[in-house]
Amino acid sequence: SQSIVLLKNNGILPFKGNKHIFVTGPNANSMWAMCGDYSFPSMSYFWKGITDDLDHPHIVRLLEGMIDRMPNNMAINYSRGCDWTEEIETKYSEGGDQRAWEYKLLHRKVDSGEIANREEALSMAEEADVIVAAMGENVMLCGENRDRKGLRLPGSQEQFVESLIATGKPVVLVMFGGRAQVISNIADNCAAIIQAWYPGEEGGHAVADILYGNISPSAKLCVSYPNVELNEPLCYNTSVSQDSRVAWPFGYGLSYTSFKYDNMKMDSEAKTTDESFTLSFDVTNTGRMDADEIAQLYLSPATATQNLRPIQLQGFARVSLKAGETKTVKIKVFTDQLGYYTHSGSRQWNIAPGRYLLKVGSSSQDIRLTRTLTLTGEKVVKPIRDNYFSVSSE
C-alpha cells in the first residue's frame, strides 16, 4: 500500500455508507495487474509460454481483495467490460536481451480467460452507485523488449472509460502497470484516480484497503507524470516551475488527511570541509485520520551561476502521524550533496563555497519551508563523493 499513489479525489474516496460498487476493466480480475516483468509468473509466461500453475505464492487480484475487505453495508458486481487490447501492440525491436529477439515471443497477447462483454458492463454500471475501473498494462505490454506504440491506455480502454463516465456515475480509475500512462482525455471527468503500478502479491488487498479507507494513501510519485505523449525526458529537476506537459509533478501524492509543516531550524552557515549539517522541522497531521506523510528535502542554488540543477531531491522521511499529532523530523545533510561533478582531465567532485537553498515540502511543486545555508571556506575537490543521500530520523 505504501507504493500506491492517489492522484485525484473529489471526495468519493474512501467509500463510505451503503454502496453498490461495480468493478470492471481488464485488470480487475487478473493477476497480471499485480506483478511486474521480473517475477515468477511473468518470466514463466514470457520465456516458456506457461499459463497454468502460476499462482504460487497466491496473487491477490483486485476484485478478490475488494470482496475480502468489503464492509457489510456494501455490495459488489463485476463484469470485465473490455480487454487489454484488441490487437497486438508490442513493438518488435532488436534491443535488450538478444534471447527475446524472436518474433513469436513478442507477437502475442495475454489470454485473460474471460469474456469482455461491453454491453453487459455498461448495463451493470448504470445500476451501480460508483464504478471502479481497473485499467492499464500486462506482461506483454510492459517489460524488457516490450515497447508499445504510445503511452495512452492500451487498446480501447480509454474509450471504455469514457462510456463509463457517460453513465453519470462516479468513476474511480485504478491504473496498473510499470510506467506512467497518459490519461489527459479522461482524467478531468474521473471522480478519483489511483496509480497502483504493480503492487505485488498482496496488491488486491492493498488497493482495497485504500478504497475502503482502512488506511490512508501515502505514496508519492517517483516520476513527473505526463499529460501528453512525447519521446524525450521529462524531469522535474530542469526547472523550479512545473512543465506544462506535466499532469502531476514529481513527489506528488494525495492523502485522506492534511499536514502542516512549520518550525524549520538550520544553522545559517557551514564549512566546505564539514562532513554534514543538520536541519529539523515539524509535521502535524491536521486532519481526522491517522496517516503517513512523506516529507521531502530539495536543494536549489541561490544564484543562476551555480553549477547545480534548479531543484534536486536530496532526501525524504516517512512520518507516521495519528490525527492531531505533531512530530519533529531531523535530517542529516552531507556537504557532498551540495557539490557537482566535473571531468577536466580527471573526474572530480567539487564542493564550492556559496549560498544554497534547502527546501522542505510535500512535492517538488509544493514547497512549504525554505532556509538559506552559506558554505564558507575554500572549494573542496575529491575524486568521488563519499555520501549521496541524507539521513532522516524522528
Top-ranked range on mean pLDDT: pick from 82-91, 101-110, 187-196? 187-196
Note the pLDDT tens digit of each residue in 273-329. 999 999 999 999 999 999 999 999 999 999 999 999 999 999 999 999 999 999 999
State how far the alpha carbon of 158 is from the alpha carbons of 77, 134, 187, 339, 344, in Å.
Answer: 21, 11, 10, 45, 50
Residue 251 pLDDT more than 80?
yes
Rounded Cα–Cα distance for residues 49 and 37 (Å)? 14
Residue 99 pLDDT more than 80?
no
Find the mean pLDDT for residues 48-54: 79
Residue reference for cell 473490455: 82
Report the pLDDT value the prediction gives residue 89, as an integer from 0 to 100.
Answer: 78
Name the grid cell of 136. 492499464
Residue 103 pLDDT more than 70?
no
* Chain mean pLDDT for the chain: 93
More confident residue, 70 or 99: 70
**For residues 392 and 279, is the Cβ–Cβ distance under 8 A?**
no
Report the pLDDT value the prediction gives residue 92, as an integer from 0 to 100.
Answer: 63
More confident residue, 142 or 263: 263
**For residues 189 and 168, is the Cβ–Cβ distance under 8 A?**
no
Report the pLDDT value the prediction gives residue 47, as an integer from 0 to 100.
Answer: 80
Find the mean pLDDT for residues 373-391: 95
Rounded Cα–Cα distance for residues 183 and 23 (Å)? 19
Contact partners, residue 176, CB within 8 Å, separation at least 6? 27, 33, 34, 134, 135, 136, 137, 196, 197, 198, 199
Domain architecture of the chain: domains with CATH: 5-215 (3.40.50.1700), 259-393 (2.60.40.10)
Note the pLDDT tens digit of each residue in 19-49. 999 999 999 999 888 988 888 888 888 888 8
**For residues 205 and 34, is the Cβ–Cβ distance under 8 A?**
no
Report the pLDDT value the prediction gives residue 295, as an integer from 0 to 100.
Answer: 98
Helices (H), the chain: 40-48, 62-69, 103-106, 118-126, 157-166, 203-212
